[in-house]
Structure 1
Amino acid sequence: MNHQPLDFTTTNTFFPHVSVVVPIYNGEKDLPDLISCLLAQTYPKHQVEYLLVDNNSSDRTLTFIETAAEHCPITIRPLREKQIQSSYAARNTGIRAAMSEIIAFTDADCRPQHQWLEALVEPFVNQDVTIVAGEIAALPGKTLLEQYADRQDTLSQKHTLAHKFCPYGQTANLAIRRIAFEKAGLFRPYLTTGGDADMCWRILKENIGRLEFSPRAIVQHRHRATLKELESQWRRYGRSNRYLHELHGIELMKPTTAKEYGYLLLRWLLKEVPKNSCKAIARKASLVDLLSTPIGLFTGIARYSGQKDAQLPEKAKIIDWF
């Protein structure tokens, strides 16, 4: 397969050909908004291909992708990953089919802003940059839990980029040079969470190049709106901790003791509730301020529970290659 070389134009504008890979499972409801965001990109349309990978969906995802490919004025390539039910396996299918030296990633439920791709690719003008992470911002939310997560910047890359073991970017907004996959391997196809960190860490450990953050490359994503969704999200974070501990030796999260929980709840009742209640009366605080501590304790319990119950499957250690 011939891969298109980097394109340096005479106007000093850096617009290499880019392949954007999007894994999709039952994304029929999200696809109209996603396609609209892709159509609105400021990046030159002839320099981008969008590889939308259906991961064995049971809805009309594949039909929608195929229809969009026929009628949209951008290059959409419908792909399928039917063998392995995993977003990482679907991404590998996209990587293998990609025609470009720079491969970008986002998800079906993300909303890339107009300058997303242009800003995400820009740092690659420096040849020592191998990974670029963009920012993940919240879509407007109305529920208490969405407002809490927004206040905490739960989705922001600033947390992953500041990881004490090694920085990494989330695949909701990430771009990687093809050569990095050739040298470090593709995603672990049977891994169900933690694959973003695993991929970045393997690349960085090989000293293939450096990671750079592009804050202007923004995608928006929904926060979890219900306690069930929030618990599932934080249990997944806990499973990721366990898997990455077994794969890379990162430190596991320590459980909060009953004494520590008691102290935090007592401080909340005796100090934070009266203080924030007064502020709320003066319209200087909201319900989010009032309930921030118990929600934080809830997510912490869910995360530790996910870590404690997780066990890395043997097949999840497998690394795919070209």
Structure 2
Amino acid sequence: MNHQQIDTTTANSYLPMVSVVVPIYNGEADLPDLINCFTSQTYPRERVEYLLVDNNSSDRTFTFIEKFSANSSITIHPLSEKQIQSSYAARNTGIKAAVGEIVVFTDADCRPQPQWLNALIKPFVNTEIVIVVGEIVALPGTNLLEKYADRQETLSQKHTLAHRFCPYGQTANLAIRRTVFDQSGLFRPHLNSGGDADICWRILRSNLGSLEFAPEAIVQHRHRVTLKELASQWRRYGRSNRYLHELHGVELMRDISLKEVGYRLARWLIKELPRSSAKAIAGRADLVDLLNTPISLFTARARAGGQRNAKLPEEAKTIEWLN
């Protein structure tokens, strides 16, 4: 009983210095809400620095970052990464400038909830933990595609944590103990997808420490609202899988043929649609239920196309190091 009390007391008093790194490209519209979320964090303000890294934006992102850094009640450092157009290169710029014991990652279009940092940092009281993964939930949406993605929990970290090769966390909500970068290296700066899995796998498969999931460390994120955005998202997932196949030997996802698409659409028209329509009339189904199969086939084809057409550039294999 006393042991449990000591553990709880230790965990509650554990307040390491934290560096939050955010890569930003043309994010001026997102910055006010993002800064409000940072200002609302319950983690002690004097123990957090926010490193906002402009990645060669063509809008007023850097000007806005400088403005917020001068007028905010939290510590904001404006940084810039202009040499390499890549969120991973921008994150590396942030890591190299960070002074915190724990480096936390999120994105400009994410909305961290007030308890986010508290919940994300607490597991690090265990010195064997080197990666903590928080949860990603959808911002409320009314669009059909947003509702579909919400129903599928597309953004949830439970999918990446259950990866058959090795668990990992997405950089929209991820924390890493800074000391492991000395041994694992930083992100691959020229990679344009899959860098979150790559860095987690390099750390975990080198036995540098373990990963823990912090489900109460929540950030909200918008889902895609147009078919074009949805296709781009799933093509990126496909590219990521191809890159990770080449870097780590991950099994490629099965391609989906036009013949299979035709068969599943026919089955949807003949069997599923009439059944879902009847449920909709009875008030037990909605538009997402009616169109679930065609949207799923659309995303599957986009992902397959992304995987099929991707080729990992030789420079993307390069790992950047702290020193």
In the alignment, which residue of structure 1 is the partner of 2:5? Answer: none
- Contact 2:12-2:122 at 8 Å conserved across structures: no
Shift of 1:282: 1.3
TM-score w.r.t. length of structure 1: 0.96
Q: Report if aligned partners of 1:24, 1:53 keep a CA contact under 8 Å in 2.
A: yes
> Match of 1:178?
178
Partner of 1:153: 153
**Distance of 1:293 and 1:173 partners within structure 2:** 30
Displacement, 1:15?
1.4
Kept in 1, the 8 Å contact 2:10–2:125? The answer is no
| Structure 1 equivalent of residue 283 of structure 2 | 283
Letter in 2 for 1:110: C
In structure 2, C-alpha distance between the alignment counterparts of 1:120 and 1:312, rounded to whole Å: 33
CA contact (8 A) 1:41 1:117 kept: yes
**1:113 equivalenced with 2:113 (yes/no):** yes
Counterpart code for 2:48: V
Q: Is the 8 A contact 1:131 1:177 kept in 2?
A: yes
One-letter code aligned to 1:174:
L
Query: Distance in 1 between the 2:50 and 2:80 partners?
Result: 13
Give the TM-score normalised by the residue count of structure 2.
0.95
> 1:224 aligned to 2:224?
yes
1:267: Cα distance to partner?
A: 2.2
Deviation digits for residues 10-56 of structure 1, max 9, x if unmatched?
A: 89422111000000000000000000000000000000000000011
User: Whole-Å Cα distance in 2 between the matches of residues 210 and 56 of structure 1?
Assistant: 34
Q: Any idea what SS the aligned residue of 2:229 has?
A: helix
Counterpart of 1:131?
Answer: 131
1:241–1:253 CA contact under 8 A, matched in 2: yes
State the alpha-carbon separation in 2 of the partners of residues 133 and 140 from structure 1. Answer: 22
> How many positions carry a matched residue from both structures?
315
For the 8 Å contact 2:11–2:125, the answer to whether it is kept is: no
Per-residue CA deviations over 1:269-319 (Å, capped at 9, x if unaligned) read: 122111110111111110000000000000000000011111000100000
Identity of aligned residues (%): 71
Amino acid at match of 2:152: Q
Deviations 1:46-83 (A, max 9, x none): 00000000011111111111111111110001101111
- Give the match for residue 3 of structure 2: none
Identify the residue that residue 61 of structure 1 maps to in structure 2: 61
| Counterpart secondary structure, 1:225 | coil
Matched, 1:85 2:85: yes
CA distance in 2, matches of 1:109, 1:256: 31
Counting only pairs closer than 5 Å after superposition, residues 157-172 of structure 1 correspond to structure 2 as 157-172=157-172
- Following TM superposition, the consecutive aligned residue runs of length 4 or more in structure 1 with deviations greater than 6 angstroms are 8-11
The corresponding residue for 1:303 is 303
Say which SS state the counterpart of residue 111 (structure 1) adopts.
strand
Which amino acid letter does the alignment assign opposite residue 179 of structure 1?
A: T
Q: Structure 1: which 5+ residue stretches go unaligned?
A: 1-7
The 2-side partners of 1:77 and 1:266 are apart by 56
Q: Residue type of the partner of 2:44?
A: P
- Which SS does the other structure have where 1:201 is aligned? helix
Superposed CA deviations along residues 235-260 of structure 1, whole A, max 9, x for unmatched, are 00010011000000001111123443
Helix, strand or coil for the counterpart of 1:190? Answer: coil
Partner of 2:4 in structure 1? none
* Contact 2:89–2:190 under 8 Å retained in 1: yes
Which structure 2 residue ranges, 5 or more long, are not aligned?
A: 1-7
Structure 1 residue 266 displacement after superposition: 2.4
Counterpart for residue 3 of structure 1: none
Q: Does the CA-based 8 Å contact 2:138-2:223 persist in structure 1?
A: yes
Quick check: 1:9–1:15 contact (8 Å CA) kept in 2? no
Report the Cα distance in structure 2 between the residues aligned to 1:197 and 1:12, rounded to whole angstroms: 30
**Which stretch shows the higher mean deviation, 146-155 or 249-258?**
249-258
The secondary structure found in structure 1 opposite 2:13 is coil
Cα deviation per residue 1:139-173 (whole Å; 9 max; x = unaligned)?
A: 11111111000000000000000000100000000
Partner residue in 2 for 1:272: 272
